[in-house]
Amino acid sequence: DSGVTQTPKHLITATGQRVTLRCSPRSGDLSVYWYQQSLDQGLQFLIQYYNGEERAKGNILERFSAQQFPDLHSELNLSSLELGDSALYFCASTDGRGGNTGELFFGEGSRLTVL
Partner 1 sequence: AQSVTQLGSHVSVSEGALVLLRCNYSSSVPPYLFWYVQYPNQGLQLLLKYTSAATLVKGINGFEAEFKKSETSFHLTKPSAHMSDAAEYFCAVRYRGSTLGRLYFGRGTQLTVWP
CA 106/CA 96 separation, integer angstroms? 14
Determine, following the binding rule CB under 8 A, whether residue 106 of this chain makes contact with partner 1. Answer: yes
- Smallest gap, in angstroms, from Cβ of residue 80 to partner 1? 26
Residues forming beta bridges with residue 15, ordered by sequence position: none
Determine, following the binding rule CB under 8 A, whether residue 3 of this chain makes contact with partner 1. Answer: no
Determine, following the binding rule CB under 8 A, whether residue 104 of this chain makes contact with partner 1. Answer: yes
Pairing of strands 10-13, 110-114: parallel
Determine, following the binding rule CB under 8 A, whether residue 107 of this chain makes contact with partner 1. Answer: yes
What residues from 59 to 88 belong to the interface with partner 1 (CB under 8 A)? none
Segment lying near partner 1 (by CB under 8 A), choices 15-23, 50-58, 68-76, 79-87: 50-58
CA 97/CA 15 separation, integer angstroms? 40
- Smallest gap, in angstroms, from Cβ of residue 61 to partner 1? 18
Query: Concatenated DSSP letters for 36-65?
Result: EEETTTEEEEEEEEETTEEEEE-S--TTEE
- Smallest gap, in angstroms, from Cβ of residue 66 to partner 1? 14
